[in-house]
Amino acid sequence: MLEIFMPKLRVNSVFDINLEELYMKGYRGIITDLDNTLVGAKDPLATPELAAWFENVKRYGFKLIIVSNNNLDRVSAFATPLDIEFVHKAKKPSNSPFRKAIKMMDLKPEETVVIGDQMMTDVYGGNRLGLYTILVLPISIMDEGFGTRFNRRLERVVKRRLKKVGLWIEEDSDQ
């Protein structure tokens, strides 16, 4: 039952994801969270390093969509200058924003990766639809809202239970 919260892959940041390997395995689309996955929750724009990563994602041939629970102003201000499509006020882990993103990319679930910093929204939502889920360490937990802080508490409980049954092994990524 707890396996639904287990990501397929855990990395420190998006920069640690082997895009070539994902592409070789048949993945063609990436759904990524925004806040604390790509940039800090209060950081309005992409860093030059992140902008270069987006270009690399596109160079490999991936389609890319940001799916965020945040509001239109926040997500649009970040995504529009980068020419990245997005779904805002997503209400993750609901199935509908993930399905919408998959449809926008004209892909199948088995061709789609989800990247996010939260087990309770990104991983759980992606796993429920059979997507390949990647959990990254949160960039910053200093400016997180109440809902995210609550989810982090739930994550700690789930991680303890997963550890107890041998499914969650601490690695250098400190997850």
Kindly report, residue by residue over 70-94, the tens digit of the pLDDT: 999 999 999 999 999 999 999 999 9
Q: Is residue 172 predicted with pLDDT exceeding 50?
A: no
Q: How many domains does the chain have?
A: 1
Is 173 inside a domain boundary?
no
Q: Which CATH number is 145's domain given?
A: 3.40.50.1000
Tokens describing residue 123: 């991983």
Is 71 inside a domain boundary?
yes
What are the beta bridge partners of residue 136? Answer: 11
Domain ranges, residue 72: 2-164
Is 99 inside a domain boundary?
yes
Q: What is the pLDDT of residues 100-126, one digit of tens each?
A: 999 999 999 999 999 999 999 999 999
Is 175 inside a domain boundary?
no
Is 169 inside a domain boundary?
no
Bond from prior residue into 7 cis (ω within 30 degrees of 0) = no
Got the DSSP string for 47-102?
-HHHHHHHHHHHHHT-EEEEE-SS-HHHHHHHHGGGT-EEE-S--TTSHHHHHHHH
**DSSP-derived 3-state class of residue 105:** helix
Is 172 inside a domain boundary?
no
Is 73 inside a domain boundary?
yes
| Angstrom distance (rounded) from CA 50 to CA 87 | 19
| Angstrom distance (rounded) from CA 129 to CA 137 | 22
For the chain, the average pLDDT equals: 92
8 A C-beta contact, residue 71 and residue 35: no
Is 160 inside a domain boundary?
yes
